[in-house]
Amino acid sequence: MKVFKTLKNDFIANRWRILIGLVALLIVDVLQLFIPRVIKYAIDDLTLGTMGPSRLLFYGLEVLILALGIGGFRYVWRYFLLGATRRIEKALRGRLFIHLQTLSPSYFSHTKVGDLMAHATNDIEAVRMAMSLGVVFLVDTIILGVLTIFFMIYIHPTLTLFAILPMPLITLITLLFSRAIHHRFEIVQKSFASLTERVREAIAGIRVIKAYVLEERERNKLSQLSQDYIQKNLNVTRVWGMFFPIILFFSISPWPSSSMWAGG
C-alpha cells in the first residue's frame, strides 16, 4: 500500500483512463456470469425435450452476443487500464532518473550501479505489473466471487453453504503463502541487482579483462551469479507450485458439493 500512496498523483492524473478501464472490467465480469446461465437453460430444455430449432438458435445468439460484448469490453479495459499503467511506469522511471541526478557524488561511491539499474528496470516493471494485472486480479476476485456466491445462493442455498465452507481456510493459506512469496521475491530482486552489476563491471572493464586474459575468470563469476539468480527464481516457483494445488485441493477436490454443482 505504501507504493500505491507514492503513486497517488499518477493515479489522479490518469483517473479517467483507470475509471473507464475498471468499469469495462466490471461489465466483462458481469457478462461472464450470464453465459453459464444461458447454457443451463439450453441444457434444461434439451433434457425436457422442449428444445426446438428456433429456441436453439435463440440460445446460440444469446451466447454470441454475450461473447462479443465480453470481447469488446475486454479490449476497452485492456486499452485504458493497461495503457494508464504504462503511462505511470513512464512517469515513475522519469522521476527516478531525475532524482538520481540530484544525488551527491558520495551516494554513487557507495551504491552499486547494478542496484540502480535494477530499480530502473526490474523493480519498476514489478510495480507496473502490480498496478495492472494485480488490480485486475483483485477486482475479478472480489466482483466475480461476490456475484458468483449470489448466483449460487439463488440456485441452491444449502449447496452454497457447503461450497463456501473452505473459504476461511483458503484465506489463511493465501495469507501465509503471500508472505513467503513476497520475501522470496525480494531476494530475487537483490540477486538480479548483483547480476546486473557484474555484467556492467565486465562490460566497463572489458579492455582490462582482455589485456590480462581474464575472460575465463569473468565467465565463471557471471555463471555463478546467473546460477544463483536461477536458484532464487526456482525458490519462488516452488512456493507458487505448492500454492495453487493446495488452493485447488481445498476449493474443489475433497468437497462433494463440487460434483453436485456440476450435475445442476
Count Cβ atoms within 10 A of the Cβ of residue 88 and give its class: 0-12 exposed, 13-18 middle, 19 or more buried: buried
pLDDT digits (tens, 9 = 90+) for 69-104: 999 999 999 999 999 999 999 999 999 999 999 998
Q: What is the pLDDT of residue 17?
A: 93
Mean pLDDT over each residue of the chain, to the nearest integer: 84
Closest CA to 215 of 202, 196, 200: 202
pLDDT digits (tens, 9 = 90+) for 163-206: 788 888 888 888 888 888 888 888 988 888 888 888 888 888 89
Q: What is the pLDDT of residue 167?
A: 82
Q: What is the pLDDT of residue 2?
A: 64
Residue 116 predicted with pLDDT over 90: no
Q: Where are the domains of the chain?
A: 1-112, 156-264
Q: What is the pLDDT of residue 251?
A: 67
Closest CA to 135 of 75, 62, 84, 97: 84
pLDDT digits (tens, 9 = 90+) for 194-238: 888 888 888 888 998 888 888 999 999 999 999 999 999 999 888
Q: What is the pLDDT of residue 148?
A: 79
7 φ, ψ to 5°? -100, 15
Q: What is the pLDDT of residue 252?
A: 60
Q: What is the pLDDT of residue 262?
A: 35
Q: What is the pLDDT of residue 144?
A: 77
Mean pLDDT of 226-255: 81
Residue 3 predicted with pLDDT over 70: no
Instruction: Residue count of the chain, please give it.
Output: 264
- To which residue does cell 456475484 refer? 147
Highest mean pLDDT range out of 51-60, 64-73, 151-160, 232-241?
64-73
Report the alpha-carbon distance of residue 240 to residue 242 in Å, rounded: 5
CB atoms within 10 A of CB 127: 20
pLDDT digits (tens, 9 = 90+) for 122-151: 888 888 888 888 788 888 778 877 887 887
Three cell numbers written together for 29 = 465480469
Report the alpha-carbon distance of residue 138 to residue 130 in Å, rounded: 10
Residue 256 predicted with pLDDT over 60: no
Report the alpha-carbon distance of residue 128 to residue 137 in Å, rounded: 14
Q: Which residues contact 22 (CB under 8 A, 6 or more apart)?
A: 77, 81, 139
Residue 257 predicted with pLDDT over 50: no
CB atoms within 10 A of CB 192: 21
Report the alpha-carbon distance of residue 38 to residue 62 in Å, rounded: 7
